[in-house]
């Protein structure tokens, strides 16, 4: 389709899950993609796969909790592909604990990966988009639990709720530069992180996944389905959409 032809995209958390699916789809749609992740082995493999299929891809090792790493990822994008048009903040983790059971270190880690990283990557990306004169699109990955609370997930809910309002604040600040900022709020999606939740809760994986599928469409989502929604927010099809929180959850919040 080529809906991202001539666009340059930076995707965090791109070594697996939703981030990897986004990188694959964006490359197929014509974008040059930079995959940023801490997992060097999986990240390089994901970039190589895109290259072997004829896409333009670069892997950059990046710890999104570190300001210098985030700045370097943006710099490498500009150096390699000549600019930056699209940012997908996909990096995320979850710790399934209540505030009583949650260690302070885990609170800080979840908030830093899920929310502070959005601030850091955007801090360095927005000036590049402003200077380029073409505007841009920033898509942040929040969660259904960024809109409603969930059990034993205090830090995760707090971090994802913060992403929703950070998205709206950024949309207000940078709309005059034609920089659109939106977020996705996925429901349970079949990723390594979702299966990690079963382990943290001490539940049998098959039973946990069956429970996660309890929603109007009767199944969990796929990373590719979330990537399609990200594509809509990234491309010109959503040219009048900014400050939005798009729920993609198979109807999980429909009755909430």
Q: Where are the domains of the chain?
A: 8-248
At 238-249, the pLDDT tens digits run: 999 999 999 999
Sign of CA dihedral 21, 22, 28, 32: negative
At 106-135, the pLDDT tens digits run: 999 999 999 999 999 999 999 999 999 999
At 72-91, the pLDDT tens digits run: 999 999 999 999 999 999 99
pTM, two decimal places? 0.96
Residue 223 confidence (pLDDT) above 90: yes
- Please pick, among 119, 156, 177, 240, the residue that the annotation labels catalytic: 156
How many DSSP H helices and E strands does the chain contain?
9, 7
Query: For 176-196, what is the mean pLDDT?
Result: 96
If pLDDT is split at 50, 70 and 90, which confidence band does 2 have?
confident
Q: What is the pLDDT of residue 143?
A: 98
DSSP single-letter state for residue 221: B
Distance from the first to the final alpha carbon of the chain: 36
Q: Give the torsion through C-alpha atoms of 61, 78, 113, 227, to 10 deg.
A: -100
* C-alpha separations of 128 from 64, 97, 133, 166, 228 in Å: 18, 38, 9, 19, 25
Superfamily of domain 8-248 in the CATH hierarchy: NAD(P)-binding Rossmann-like Domain (3.40.50.720)
The answer to whether 148 touches 253, Cβ cutoff 8 Å, is yes
If pLDDT is split at 50, 70 and 90, which confidence band does 1 have?
low
Q: What are phi and psi of 252, to 5 degrees?
A: -60, -35
* DSSP SS3 for 182: strand
Residue 236 confidence (pLDDT) above 60: yes
Residue 256 confidence (pLDDT) above 80: no
- In a 13 Å sphere around the CA of 87, the CA atoms on its Cβ side amount to 31
> Which of 65, 108, 244, 81 is closest to 168 using CA atoms?
244
At 130-184, the pLDDT tens digits run: 999 999 999 999 999 999 999 999 999 999 999 999 999 999 999 999 999 999 9
Residue 254 confidence (pLDDT) above 70: yes
Q: What is the pLDDT of residue 255?
A: 85
At 16-59, the pLDDT tens digits run: 999 999 999 999 999 999 999 999 999 999 999 999 999 999 99
Q: What is the rounded distance in angstroms from the CA atom of residue 129 to the CA atom of residue 10?
A: 12
Residue 224, sorted as left (phi over 0), alpha (psi -120 to 50) or beta, turns out to be alpha
Q: What is the pLDDT of residue 87?
A: 98
Q: Is 156 among the catalytic positions?
A: yes
The answer to whether 15 touches 37, Cβ cutoff 8 Å, is yes
């Amino acid at each position: 389709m080529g809906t991202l032809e001539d666009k340059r995209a930076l995707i965090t958390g791109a070594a697996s899950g939703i981030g990897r699916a986004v990188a694959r789809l964006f490359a197929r749609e014509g974008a040059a993609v930079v995959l940023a992740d801490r997992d060097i082995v999986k990240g390089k493999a994901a970039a190589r796969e895109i290259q072997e299929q004829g896409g333009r891809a670069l892997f950059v090792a990046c710890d999104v909790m570190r300001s210098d790493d985030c700045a370097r990822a943006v710099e490498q994008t500009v150096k390699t592909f000549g600019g930056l048009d699209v940012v997908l903040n996909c990096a995320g983790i979850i710790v399934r604990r209540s505030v009583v059971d949650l260690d302070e270190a885990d609170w800080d880690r979840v908030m830093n990966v899920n929310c502070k990283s959005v601030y850091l990557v955007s801090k360095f990306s927005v000036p590049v988009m402003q200077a380029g004169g073409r505007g841009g699109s920033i898509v942040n990955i929040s969660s259904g639990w960024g809109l409603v609370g969930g059990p034993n997930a205090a830090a995760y809910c707090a971090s994802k709720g913060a992403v929703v309002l950070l998205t709206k604040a950024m949309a207000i600040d940078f709309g005059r530069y034609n920089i659109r900022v939106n977020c996705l709020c996925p429901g349970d999606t079949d990723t390594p992180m979702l299966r990690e939740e079963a382990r943290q809760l001490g539940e049998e994986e098959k039973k946990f996944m069956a429970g996660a599928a309890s929603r109007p469409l009767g199944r969990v989502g796929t990373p590719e389905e979330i990537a399609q929604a990200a594509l809509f927010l990234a491309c010109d099809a959503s040219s009048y959409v900014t400050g939005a929180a798009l729920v993609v959850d198979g109807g999980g919040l429909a009755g909430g």
